[in-house]
Amino acid sequence: MALRYVIVQQPSSAAQLFLLYHGVNDNPDSMAQIGSWFAKAFPQALVVSVGAPYAGSAPQGRQWFVEIPPHDRSEQQGVDAIMPEFIASVRHWQQKSGVRAEATALVGFSQGGMMVLEGIKAQPDLAGRAIVFSGRYATLPQRATTRNTIHLIHGDEDDQIPLQHAEAAKQRLILLGGDVTLDIVEDLPHAIDDRSMELALNHLRYTVPRRYFDEALSGAKPGDDDVVMMI
């Protein structure tokens, strides 16, 4: 069982790190096409598409954990089983690139989006940003932090992961004091389209993470120890 990587963009010195995670029965090659949008918008970013460890039912398809029957409540167990490898992979690329967690963005679609949300839930300092297309939690979090900013992007016609999962995630994160946005894309099924990508890129360009305001109010001086480019 091993993860496969497709490097979309590798600058000589990376200022940001984007790691992308595909959906069930997809693969890192196709998710790399989504990565090309981030590469174009952030030319100084290392952009890597990460392949899931398990074979899917479709040809060349992969999945992050073994499919769980709908009536079975152990889906969280499947996520938890692969989570150490998922986290180790993120840390590997942070170390390899020299990019800190604050300048790391995890991008996931569908089951890959679940892995991103669950990764941030398990280890809040894993990344500064999460972009989740058509994803959901395995189980809603019990605590949240402003150390990361979560951007949920979801189609209102998604019949595989219905919109209410994203709405429930947003409500829970706000209740817990987290930093979250939710964009609903009209007439979009379980997919990523040009509108979704523009929303994602605009959040990365223009949405100021809440932690910056918290640091300012507390009198902290972010970056005194090291100067890093945040996203």
Assess whether 190 carries a catalytic annotation. Answer: yes
Q: Which of 30, 92, 190, 214 is catalytic?
A: 190
Range list of H helices, 61-193: 75-97, 111-122, 163-175
Closest residue by Cα to residue 9 from 38, 39, 31: 39
10 SS3 class? coil
Tell me the pairing of strands 45-51 and 4-9.
Answer: antiparallel
Element counts in the chain: helices (H) and strands (E) = 6, 9
Q: Which of 151, 158, 165, 203 is catalytic?
A: 158
At 51, phi and psi to the nearest 5?
A: -95, 140
Tell me the pairing of strands 129-133 and 149-155.
Answer: parallel
Assess whether 214 carries a catalytic annotation. Answer: no
Q: Which of 110, 134, 196, 203 is catalytic?
A: 110
Q: Which residues are known to be catalytic?
A: 110, 158, 190
